[in-house]
Amino acid sequence: MAYLAELVLDEKATLGEGPHWDHQENKLYWVDIIGKKLHAFDPVTNKNRTLQFDQYIGAVVPGKTGQLILAMQNGIYRYELESKLLTLIADPESDKPNNRFNDGKCDPTGRFYVGTMDLNGKKGSGALYRLDRDGQLSKMLSSVTISNGLAWSPDGNEMYFIDTPTGEVAIYHYNQQFGDLSYKQPAVKIPQEMGSPDGMTIDQEGMIWVAHWGGSRVTRWDPHLGKQLDEVIVPAKNVTSCAFGGENLDELYITTARQGMNDDELLKFPQSGGLFKVKTDVQGVRGNHYRSSK
């Protein structure tokens, strides 16, 4: 069955990314990486609040009340919404000025996983990191090119990860107690003609939803069978990520980008860079907050 996504916000983001539904605030946080913008969308009022920063911002997750954790160009920061105070937590790649943080999410216990990439996508320049609840940072994966989609299985025993140029979603065994990974296998191989896998989310049935850069769609897969189950058609060329939101977690929010598109493509896909939404027949898994022990 094919769904069709509808435009919610014609934001024209250069690189819309990183949607995270905050179930406590009933808001969708999302970013425009290249625009250095953090957005907070309230579906009740249809208002999109924008905060402007002075460096690229790859991912956002809520922390303690009134706090956000931001993965940016020059490290991971704590941001106080009230005072607008930005405090550096960790900058593991200060020796790599051409790298920036990209996609990031919290595991079910509240640890923050976030990856890096070279600004020009140089092969193997990135890594995947884990920020523990006590603020300690560990490198989990090396030689990553474009660290992207992350998701945990509903039972928390598996982690899914996308390094975009591989064209694959990989499964890792996940140790919830310690937050450790061990590689299992490729779960899904995205056919080249469907674009490249970018961001990702998971539903309560354990099926993964993958955004397709260059593919105008989000697809739903059984990660254990490697079988495609559903598809969401998105009227934008570069689909970057998705997250379940809404009162019942059955609305899939989808981010898109205008980056790298020529005039003809922008004429064909004028809503590129917009925020989209589609009502689904399944419920998603709630996005996790960063739970600092400090």
pLDDT in tens, 155-168: 999 999 999 999 99
End-to-end CA distance of the chain: 46
| CA–CA gap between residue 265 and residue 196 (Å, rounded) | 17
What's the whole-model pTM score?
0.97
Check residue 294 and give its pLDDT: 78
The sign one gets for the Cα dihedral 114, 119, 120, 122 is negative
Q: What is the DSSP letter of 171?
A: E
| CA–CA gap between residue 276 and residue 221 (Å, rounded) | 20
Check residue 194 and give its pLDDT: 98
pLDDT tens string, the chain, 294 residues long: the values are: 689 999 999 999 999 999 999 999 999 999 999 999 999 999 999 999 999 999 999 999 999 999 999 999 999 999 999 999 999 999 999 999 999 999 999 999 999 999 999 999 999 999 999 999 999 999 999 999 999 999 999 999 999 999 999 999 999 999 999 999 999 999 999 999 999 999 999 999 999 999 999 999 999 999 999 999 999 999 999 999 999 999 999 999 999 999 999 999 999 999 999 999 999 999 999 999 999 987
| CA–CA gap between residue 253 and residue 236 (Å, rounded) | 14
Tokens encoding 222: 């059984």
Tokens encoding 30: 């999302």
Taking phi first (over 0 means left), then psi (-120 to 50 degrees means alpha), and beta for anything else, what does residue 128 get?
beta
Tokens encoding 57: 């911002």
Specify the CATH number of the domain 2-65+98-279.
2.120.10.30
CA-nearest of 177, 18, 196 to 103 is: 18
What residues contact residue 267 under an 8 Å CB cut-off, 6+ apart?
A: none
Annotated domain spans of the chain = 2-65+98-279
